[in-house]
Amino acid sequence: MPVIRVIPCLDVASGRVVKGVNFQGLKDAGDPVELAANYYRQGADEITFLDVTAASENRSTTKDLVTRCAEEVFIPLTVGGGIRGVEDVTALLKAGADKVSVGSAGIARPDLLSEIAMEHGNQILVVSLDIKRGDTKSGFTVTSHGGRKETGLDAMEWVTQVQQLGAGELLINSMDADGTKQGFDIELIELVLRESSIPIIASGGAGTISHFVEAAQAGADALLAASVFHSGAIAISEVKSELAKAGIEVR
Angle in degrees, CA 155, 159, 163, rounded to 5 = 165
250: which DSSP letter? B
Distance CA 127, CA 241 (A): 29
CA atoms within 13 A on the CB side of 198: 21
Active-site annotation holds for 11:
yes
Distance CA 100, CA 88 (A): 10
Distance CA 74, CA 53 (A): 26
Is there a contact between 155 and 140 (Cβ–Cβ < 8 Å)? yes
Catalytic hit among 130, 154, 185, 221: 130
Is there a contact between 136 and 106 (Cβ–Cβ < 8 Å)? no
Active-site annotation holds for 130:
yes
Catalytic hit among 11, 51, 178, 221: 11
Q: Which are the catalytic amino acids?
A: 11, 130
